[in-house]
Amino acid sequence: MWRDRLLLAATFTAIFSADLYFILLPKLRRMGQGSRQFCSCGPSNISLPGQGGLATPHLSNWTYVPPLGALTTDSTGSKLGRLFAHPLYNIQTPALGPEEKLLLVEQLMEYYRKKMSRRVDHSAAAVSNISVTEHEVTFDPDASWLKFHLGINRYALYSRDDPAVPQLLEDMQGMAVVSADYTQDEKALKGVCDCTQVVKPSGHHLKLALKMHNFAKAMFKPMRQQRDEETPEDVFYFVDLQRHNAEIAAFHLDRVLDFRRVPPVTGRLVNVTGEILQVTHNEDLRAVFFTSPANNTCFFAKCLYVCKTEYAVCGNPNLLEGSLSAYLPGLSIAPRISIPNPWIRSYTFTGREEWEVNPFYCDTIKKLYPYNSGNRLLNIIDMSIFDFLTGNMDRHHYEIFTKFGDEGFILHLDNARGFGKHSHDEMSILAPLSQCCMIKSSTLVRLQLLARPEFRLSDVMRESLKEDPLRPILTEPHLLALDRRLQKVLRVVQRCIRRQGRDEVVTKDFAKSTGKPQTATEMKQTR
């Protein structure tokens, strides 16, 4: 009996040792390796985040490509580098056909060859009795801004690994300005420009279009508010100042969220005398320049409301901070349209829109074209999450490229009214999400990833913004507000899932669409 018990104990010990050595120990090793570095293998082995069983994306028709230098980036302690090395940020879109690219090389080059041949020398004859500095303009077919335009496709403004974007940011910081003029908004106000397709002028903003020596073009928004100032509580969102640092921060946030729907933006010190006044042929623009009592060069906008010397911006004595946003291709070569936001706010002191008083408003929107099918409504919800994180209440319209039809992505343009209040979270911005209870799987899993300590949103944003020459771009309270707001977005999603179930709320969107975008006529025929 004693020998039998001893033999039985030895047998169990051997079995347990074998399990420990061959099964449990390898699993523990793999877990330990996974906590130290990210997988650099193929898509079949990708481990994607999931919190509370919310989302596990399907990766059919998409491939994971590990980025160059992913392992070396991981070893530097860079959270941003580890984020961009994560499999979720390296799911490559399928090969793009001509119909999925906004512009083709031959088309764009022919456009600028004709533009170059039509270029007229404006010196002396264009402006009477005014000395204008003339710069030589050359066309470089390898310019970074041209590569950026050629990289725009059906899915985003640029690919995750497009080298043209960081090069364009660097170029915009030093490119010679050869011409300054009013933007389309101001020209539309004056009746000079018929830009009603995409321009909704409010007559409040101070921004200029700057042309560079190689035909590049950027929108300049000057500094109007110090970084540590908050928008006063009694100021309505539609008369709030535009902030240059908000434009810069919005570009970085859009990239961190992997939307890639904001054109590249960088900060720059601009000489308002040498790079605006002395290179403009526009007499109206020259007329708003003056010298302040402190001997600083100042200018103000010509518009409907707050456009007088009291609201001017001034150099110190000539240098002025501002944001430079890369222009998108012109409307004549890449048409786009402006569409009212279904969750547009009232732009009066007393009015309220239907969505503000009707909690079932989204049920009506879901029945209307183009929100009754495809990704348009989901893209609106993406935009509302983006705006909530920045605190931007001024999203009255959105724009899309007409070439991509109803399935095209929404451009996240004009973000200068964000980051005004770090101490207040405006939950009404999230109305599209809270009322519709829908979210893309890709959006949700990235939000969950950015809520983790190892990829904390405020940390990666702080690191990303250090790349800008005007750093610091955001104060610490604004950075910390991003984490707080992200948690609120996730809580809204969790409440929706508890009410309706995950399958009704989380929409799988990783698989490539097999149907071509439908036109408005085709949609009406099928309804």
Q: In sequence order, which residues have a C-beta less than 8 Å from that of residue 25 and are 6 or more positions away? A: none
Instruction: Write out pLDDT tens, residues 166-211.
Output: 999 999 999 999 999 988 765 554 544 444 444 444 445 688 999 9
Q: Answer whether 146's CB lies under 8 Å from 301's CB.
A: no
Q: Dihedral angle at the C-alpha atoms of 40, 41, 43, 48, nearest 10 degrees? A: -50
Reply yes or no on whether 161 is catalytic.
no
Let me know whether 307 and 366 are in one domain. no
Query: What is the CA angle 62-63-69, rounded to 5?
Result: 140
Dump the DSSP string for 463-521: HHHTTSTT---S-HHHHHHHHHHHHHHHHHHHHHHHHH-HHHHEEP--SPP-SPPPPHH
**Out of 258, 382, 394, 459, which one is annotated catalytic?**
394
Phi–psi pair at 339, nearest 5 degrees: -125, 135
Annotated binding site for ATP: 221, 325-328, 399, 414
Let me know whether 233 and 141 are in one domain. yes
Retrieve residue 501's tokens. Answer: 């179930």
Q: In sequence order, which residues have a C-beta less than 8 Å from that of residue 13 and are 6 or more positions away? A: none
Please report whether residue 516 resides in a domain.
Answer: yes
Alpha carbon 259 to its chain's center: 6
Query: What is the CA angle 170-176-177, rounded to 5?
Result: 115
Let me know whether 109 and 195 are in one domain. yes
Closest CA to 262 of 273, 251, 249, 275: 251
Distance CA 306, CA 252 (A): 30
Q: Which residues span the domain enclosing 180?
A: 103-326
Number of helices (H), then strands (E), belonging to the chain: the values are 19, 14
Distance CA 247, CA 523 (A): 36
Which residue among 326, 349, 381 closes a domain?
A: 326
In one letter, which amino acid is 484?
A: R
Closest CA to 475 of 461, 489, 492: 461
Please report whether residue 38 resides in a domain.
Answer: no
Let me know whether 340 and 322 are in one domain. no
Q: In sequence order, which residues have a C-beta less than 8 Å from that of residue 120 and are 6 or more positions away? A: none
Counted residue by residue, the chain has a size of 527
Instruction: Write out pLDDT tens, residues 381-395.
Output: 999 999 999 999 989
Let me know whether 281 and 364 are in one domain. no
Alpha carbon 445 to its chain's center: 18
Q: 258: alpha, beta or left, given left = phi > 0 and alpha = psi -120 to 50? A: left
Please report whether residue 513 resides in a domain.
Answer: yes
Please report whether residue 156 resides in a domain.
Answer: yes
Half-sphere exposure of 3 (CA within 13 A, CB side): 0
End-to-end CA distance of the chain: 83
Let me know whether 295 and 275 are in one domain. yes
H or E segment to which residue 180 belongs = strand 177-182
Which residue among 261, 293, 326 closes a domain?
A: 326
Please report whether residue 13 resides in a domain.
Answer: no
Let me know whether 233 and 185 are in one domain. yes
Q: Answer whether 108's CB lies under 8 Å from 149's CB.
A: yes
3-state percent breakdown (helix, strand, coil) of the chain, nearest 5: 40, 10, 45
Closest CA to 291 of 283, 300, 299: 299
Let me know whether 271 and 250 are in one domain. yes
Annotated binding site for Mn(2+): 414
Which residue among 326, 344, 378 closes a domain?
A: 326
Let me know whether 441 and 360 are in one domain. yes
Q: How many Cβ atoms sit within 10 Å of the Cβ of residue 127?
A: 15
H or E segment to which residue 285 belongs = helix 283-286
Look at residue 130 in the predicted model and tell me its pLDDT.
Answer: 58
Let me know whether 167 and 291 are in one domain. yes
Look at residue 241 in the predicted model and tell me its pLDDT.
Answer: 79
- pLDDT lower than 70: segments of the chain: 1-76, 119-130, 185-205, 232-240, 302-310, 349, 510-527
Closest CA to 443 of 434, 455, 433: 433
Look at residue 153 in the predicted model and tell me its pLDDT.
Answer: 95
Please report whether residue 64 resides in a domain.
Answer: no
Give the max Cα distance, the chain: 118
Helices (H), 287-414: 354-357, 361-365, 376-390
Let me know whether 290 and 194 are in one domain. yes
Phi–psi pair at 326, nearest 5 degrees: -65, 135
Retrieve residue 454's tokens. Answer: 């190892």
Please report whether residue 176 resides in a domain.
Answer: yes
Annotated binding site: 221, 325-328, 399, 414
Tokens 């070569």 correspond to 333
Distance CA 458, CA 480 (A): 6
Whole-angstrom CA distances from 414 to 68, 242, 344 are 33, 9, 15
Please report whether residue 443 resides in a domain.
Answer: yes
Distance CA 239, CA 382 (A): 25
The secondary structure of residue 338, as a DSSP letter, is E
Let me know whether 240 and 355 are in one domain. no
Our count of domains for the chain comes to: 2
Phi–psi pair at 219, nearest 5 degrees: -95, 125
